[in-house]
């Protein structure tokens, strides 16, 4: 029986590319979507036409009870979760001087609390079965900071602190926990930035001279899910075209 992979925020941008890649690897893929998203059925149908038999589950990843309920549903309907990709995230960008507590809380809950909320219900089961992969999708801005993103940068940096501690605790249980930190990737959100801004402000910061491709990030996730990556845990792997190097 094929393993089960859950990708939070799996219906757009990086999430969709990750879902497609894991599907091609033979995983049973579950994409989560936010409550109130009325497009999930159409997305599943469109993906099926492309040869991907995805499942879609509604969950508010910022809420622990909602996350537990979603994991219980997935486990009952499909099977226990073997791979978890914590990809869901939002932005509420503004300078710190103008930032309201509401904007801080929203980003921290969706981008950081969600990592606890979704990982907690699955990781002990992974350990009991002796195999599991948790991959936390952070950001280059969690490594270097970004003007107008104190909330986002703090949440994304916090994800890797979680990664390192959890990796230590579960290393002998066959479960790896890793972070990836993408730079500017050519998702629909990034491509919505005016071309003149991309060409004059963003791409000049990237030594490779272009945006990354969602498929390239998905390929990195696929590697971390593989048997060949069993010795990689607690890592934060940058995939940013050389924009920021550590």
Residue 132's SS3 state is strand
DSSP-derived pairing of the beta strands 28-33 and 83-86: unpaired
The DSSP call for residue 137 is E
Q: Which of 152, 170, 184, 223 is catalytic?
A: 152
The answer to whether residue 152 is catalytic is yes
Where are any strands of DSSP class E within the chain? 4-7, 28-33, 55-58, 83-86, 132-137, 175-182, 236-239
* CA angle (93, 151, 64) in 5-degree steps: 115
Helix or strand (DSSP H, E) at 129: helix 114-129
Q: Return the structure tokens found at 181.
A: 């930190």
Q: Give yes or no for a contact between 10 and 16, defined as CB atoms under 8 angstroms apart.
A: yes
> What positions carry a catalytic annotation?
152
């Amino acid at each position: 029986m094929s393993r089960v992979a859950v990708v939070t925020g799996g219906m757009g941008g990086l999430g969709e590319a990750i879902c497609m890649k894991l599907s091609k690897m033979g995983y049973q893929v579950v994409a989560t979507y936010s409550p109130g998203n009325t497009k999930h059925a159409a997305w599943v149908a469109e993906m099926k036409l492309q040869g991907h038999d995805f499942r879609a589950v509604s969950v508010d990843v910022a809420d622990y009870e909602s996350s537990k309920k979603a994991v219980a549903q997935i486990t009952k309907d499909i099977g226990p979760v073997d791979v978890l990709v914590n990809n869901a995230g939002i932005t509420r960008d503004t300078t710190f001087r103008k930032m309201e507590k509401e904007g801080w809380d929203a980003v921290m809950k969706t981008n950081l609390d969600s990592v606890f909320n979704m990982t907690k219900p699955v990781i002990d089961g992974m350990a009991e079965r002796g195999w599991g992969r948790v991959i936390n999708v952070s950001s280059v801005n969690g490594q270097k900071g970004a003007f107008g993103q104190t909330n986002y940068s703090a949440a994304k940096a916090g994800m890797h602190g979680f990664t390192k501690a959890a990796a230590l605790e579960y290393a002998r249980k066959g479960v790896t926990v890793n972070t990836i930190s993408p730079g500017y990737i050519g998702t629909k959100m990034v491509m919505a930035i005016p071309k003149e801004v991309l060409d004059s402000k963003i791409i000049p910061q990237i030594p490779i001279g272009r945006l990354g491709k969602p498929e390239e990030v998905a390929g990195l996730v696929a590697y971390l899910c593989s048997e060949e990556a069993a010795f990689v845990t607690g890592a934060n792997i940058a995939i940013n075209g050389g924009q920021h190097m550590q």
